Each structure stands twice: as C-alpha cells, then as structure tokens.
C-alpha cells in the first residue's frame, strides 16, 4: 500500500484515524502496531514474519545489552551479536543476488560453471527498519536510552506506518517520550493535514510528471547532449519532489497521530558545498551515518588522513546502503571524495552570503552524481555522461521531441522556479533574525476576529491542488515512490 493511492486515502487512513481517536490512550499504540502490520502485509504477507522476527530479535538484544550495563564488555558482545545478525539479514536479502552475479562474472571469464542461486526478493523497507533497530541497540549500549520492556511500544516504533517504507530514519530515543505521552490537538492535526497534502501534491503533480521525461531520456540509445542534460535535470527535480513529498506525507501523518518526526529535507539544492548538501538532504540518513558509522570509525579524532578516510568510507557505505549495484557504490564514492576535498581545502560549509559561483558548482556536482545514481547500470551511465560532456548537439533528438509534451516542459520549469524561490527564501530567512510567529486567527478584546488571510489563502490553495492531485492520481497508472526500492 502506498500513500498516493485511493485505497490508502479513502479506506485505510479514514478507518484508522476514526478508530485511533475513538480508542483511549492506553490502546492507541497497540492499534498503531496492528494498523502498521496490516499496511505492510498489504504488499506481501509472508515478509511480515521476517519483519516481526527482526523486531523481536532487537527487542531481546536490547534487554540483554541493558542488563549487561552501559559500555561494558558483556554488553559489547551482545551488541556485536545483535548488529551482526541484523547486517546478515540485510546482506542476504539486499546483496545476495549482486554478490552471486559479480562472482559468476569472474568465474565464467575463466571458463568455469556459474553458481545457481534462486533470485532473492528484496523485502520492502528492510533497509529502514534494520537501520532503526541497529540504532536502538547501539543507543542502549551507549546509555543514550534505557532498554524498553514495553514490547508493544518498541514494535510500534519499528513498524509505525507513516515512515515504514521510505523513512525518515527514526530513533527510539527521540520518540520514546512521545509513545508514552503525546498531545493531540486540533492545531497539530490541521498542521499534519496541510503537510500531508503538500507532500501529495509534490509527488503526484510534479514528481510523477517528470518521471516520464527522465525515464525516456535515460532509455535513449543515442542521446544528444540536450537529451542527456534534460534527463539529468528532470531526474534531479523528480527525485527531490518524490522523496521530500514522501517525507512531508510521513511527517504529516505523524502529526495527525500526535507525533512530531524530524525534518528530512531543508532545501538541499540551495547548498554551496557538498558538505552543506548533506546537512540538507535526507537528514535522517546523513545524521545516522554520522552518529553510528563515521563516529564509530573514529570520526576526526585520529588524525587528518583518518578523517578523510572515514568521510570517504562513510559515504561509500552510504551509497551501498541504497542498493546492490556498482552505480550506487560509485555515487557514494563521488560524494565521499568531495566531502574529503572540501574538508582538506577548508571550504566554508555554513555560508552567510549566497555565492552564485559556489552554488552553481555544487549543483553541477550533485546533478552529475544523480546520473549514475539513476542509471540502471554502468553502460547507461557511460552513455549519459558521454552525451552530456561531448557538448555536441544541444537540440533534442526527434524521438525525444515526439515524446515531450507541453505539460512536462511547464512542470519542469515550475519545479525549478519552486526550488529557487523556496531555496532562496530559506537561505535569507536563516541569515536574518526570526520574525515573531504569525497567528492564523485571533480574537480581540472587543470580540472581533482577525484572520491571517495569507495563511488562509495558502491553505485553501493547497486544498484545491490536493483535490486536483487526487483526480490526476485516479487517471494515471501506478507510480511507486522512488525510495521504496531501497
């Protein structure tokens, strides 16, 4: 089941919210757990057993680590066992096919018979719930959170359906208080509805329209320079609006249930360095990699060379986390290399002034990286790069012109105008002192009511676009979120 589907919008969500608010506080976490398992089982019932098994395993390991004591040797052994099993499960389901295929490519070159392995199906969302489970037992070991004895709360944390399939990557220590005591107000519910609708519009109106352009350009056998750059720019916008749209919907759904999740995107395409980009893009994953991988490797505590090595390895493994393909490994190495270079050069990664040259160079690096991230294999990536940097024919090929529609061109323009407007607004807003909060409605002493008409009109426009998005969704074919594959 996906958020951008009529089944979710008109059946699952209203039924769940109705039961959720009719039930008492004592039963809401249990209801959330049951609903999340139904949401997950809608895809495949058989993998629900694996999901529940991973949850029970890490719950038990957390108890063992907690009983052994913070940072003790026995606790460390339990931690290593827990992380080892988690990574073994992730490794088998996510990398077994890739490993066997790579090995077969080597041994067949020597004339030997290849190994036969039944194709392993990747369970949806496994990367996210494995990472969240690992972070929990590490936090218990470090003493950042006590081991919970409430299995329902822990299972609901791992399974909570708003973020289950594609993040944000949450941490138990950040949500444990909200599981025990969270507020439910009309303002929070209204904020959640608005946020959900914003994400839905991003996905259905912009990302799904640009997906057709990107898919067609990357499928061309002989793309021109214009074709390749069009495909790269279309995918750059598609990925942001798709993934940030999902994150908006997840955060909005959380608010409807009284939870407040961390932000996952902060206008990343306004960044003036790759380091700043990773502070703004997929923030929950980048902070996870920093706290549980980079710091574990030694961070910047073991000298200059070790710092550069740790930056590079962290991003290399971050690329591998996205999928079992050499394209993801190279993409991670690309970003790791630039993080190390920026640190070596002492680049200002928290600029107070907007420098168009630094921004343009950073954006170019990001777009170039997205090409190999999107490509099915190295051959497709090489074909796209060859066309992009041959600087030959800038006109679109006849095949591309025949497929491209006016709506797609207009959507691409609107997407980048939107990125520019909100990116620059975010940059200059953070560079100046915050203004006093605006109140949407206020009752004065004489009984009169004043409204913030700007906010009212904005929410009315969001609602109108949301309705239009539902109509568009009903008319188009199924389009899953891009990060479902990870």
Residues serving a catalytic function are 322
Q: Residue 433 to residues 126, 352, 422, 429: CA-CA distances in angstroms?
A: 42, 13, 18, 8
Beta bridge partners of 442: 450
- Please give the Cα distance from 52 to 196 (Å, whole number): 28
Which residue pairs, CB below 8 angstroms and at least 24 apart, start in 88-91?
89/50, 89/54, 89/126, 89/130, 90/126, 90/127, 90/130
Contact criterion met (CB below 8 Å) for 92 and 127:
no
- Measuring CA to CA, which residue among 92, 176, 173 is closest to residue 135? 173
- Please give the Cα distance from 354 to 270 (Å, whole number): 9
HSE of 193, CA atoms in CB hemisphere, 13 A: 14
- Please give the Cα distance from 382 to 364 (Å, whole number): 17
* Tokens read off for 357: 């040259």
- Please give the Cα distance from 434 to 436 (Å, whole number): 7
Beta bridge partners of 441: 451
Phi, psi dihedrals of residue 115, rounded to the nearest 5°: -75, 150
- Please give the Cα distance from 273 to 361 (Å, whole number): 8
Contact criterion met (CB below 8 Å) for 483 and 246:
yes
Residue keyed to tokens 């025990």: 180
Contact criterion met (CB below 8 Å) for 309 and 302:
no
Q: Which residues contact 200 (CB under 8 A, 6 or more apart)?
A: 3, 4, 245, 249, 466, 469
Phi, psi dihedrals of residue 479, rounded to the nearest 5°: -140, 100
- Please give the Cα distance from 159 to 147 (Å, whole number): 18
**DSSP designation for 246:** H
- Cis bond upstream, residue 168 (ω within 30): yes
* Tokens read off for 71: 């940072």
Q: How many CB atoms within 10 Å of residue 173?
A: 15
Strand blocks (E) in 337-381: none
* Tokens read off for 412: 């691409």
Instruction: Say how many Å lie between the first and final Cα of the chain, rounded.
Output: 16
């Amino acid at each position: 089941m996906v958020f951008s589907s009529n089944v979710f919008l008109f059946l699952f969500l209203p039924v769940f919210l109705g039961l959720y608010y009719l039930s008492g506080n004592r039963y809401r976490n249990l209801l959330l757990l049951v609903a999340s398992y139904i949401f997950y089982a809608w895809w495949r019932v058989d993998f629900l057993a694996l999901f529940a098994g991973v949850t029970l395993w890490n719950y038990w390991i957390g108890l063992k680590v907690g009983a052994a004591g913070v940072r003790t040797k026995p606790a460390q052994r339990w931690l290593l066992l827990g992380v080892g099993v988690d990574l073994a499960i992730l490794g088998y389901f996510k990398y077994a096919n890739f490993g066997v295929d790579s090995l077969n490519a080597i041994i067949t070159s020597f004339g030997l018979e290849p190994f036969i392995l039944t194709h392993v199906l990747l369970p949806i969302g496994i990367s996210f719930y494995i990472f969240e489970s690992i972070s929990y037992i590490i936090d218990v070991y470090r003493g950042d959170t006590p081991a919970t004895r409430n299995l329902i709360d822990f299972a609901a944390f791992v399974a909570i359906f708003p973020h289950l399939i594609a993040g944000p990557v949450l941490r138990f220590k950040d949500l444990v208080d909200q599981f025990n005591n969270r507020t439910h107000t009309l303002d929070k519910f209204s904020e959640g509805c608005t946020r959900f609708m914003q994400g839905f519009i991003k996905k259905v109106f912009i990302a799904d329209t640009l997906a057709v352009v990107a898919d067609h350009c990357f499928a061309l056998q002989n793309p021109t320079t214009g074709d390749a750059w069009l495909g790269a720019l279309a995918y750059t916008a598609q990925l942001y609006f798709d993934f940030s749209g999902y994150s908006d919907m997840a955060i909005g759904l959380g608010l409807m249930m009284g939870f407040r999740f961390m932000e996952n995107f902060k206008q990343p395409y306004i960044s003036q360095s790759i380091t700043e980009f990773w502070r703004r893009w997929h923030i929950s994953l980048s902070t996870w990699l920093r706290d549980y991988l980079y710091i574990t490797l030694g961070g910047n505590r073991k000298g200059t060379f070790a710092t550069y090595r740790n930056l590079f390895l962290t991003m290399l493994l971050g690329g591998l986390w996205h999928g079992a393909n050499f394209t993801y490994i190279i993409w991670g190495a690309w970003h790791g290399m630039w993080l190390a270079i920026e640190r070596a050069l002492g680049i200002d990664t928290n600029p107070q002034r907007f420098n168009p040259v630094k921004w343009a160079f950073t954006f170019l690096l990001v777009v170039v990286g997205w090409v190999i991230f999107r490509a099915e294999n190295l051959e497709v990536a090489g074909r796209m790069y060859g066309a992009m940097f041959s600087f030959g024919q800038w006109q679109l090929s006849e095949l591309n012109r025949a497929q491209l529609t006016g709506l797609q061109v207009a959507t691409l323009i609107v997407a980048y105008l939107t990125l520019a407007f909100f990116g620059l607004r975010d940059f200059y807003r953070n560079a100046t002192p915050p203004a006093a909060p605006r109140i949407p409605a206020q009752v004065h002493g004489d009984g009169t009511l004043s409204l913030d008409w700007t906010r009212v009109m904005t929410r009315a426009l969001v609602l109108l676009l949301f309705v239009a998005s539902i109509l568009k969704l009903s008319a188009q074919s199924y389009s899953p979120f891009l990060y479902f594959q990870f």
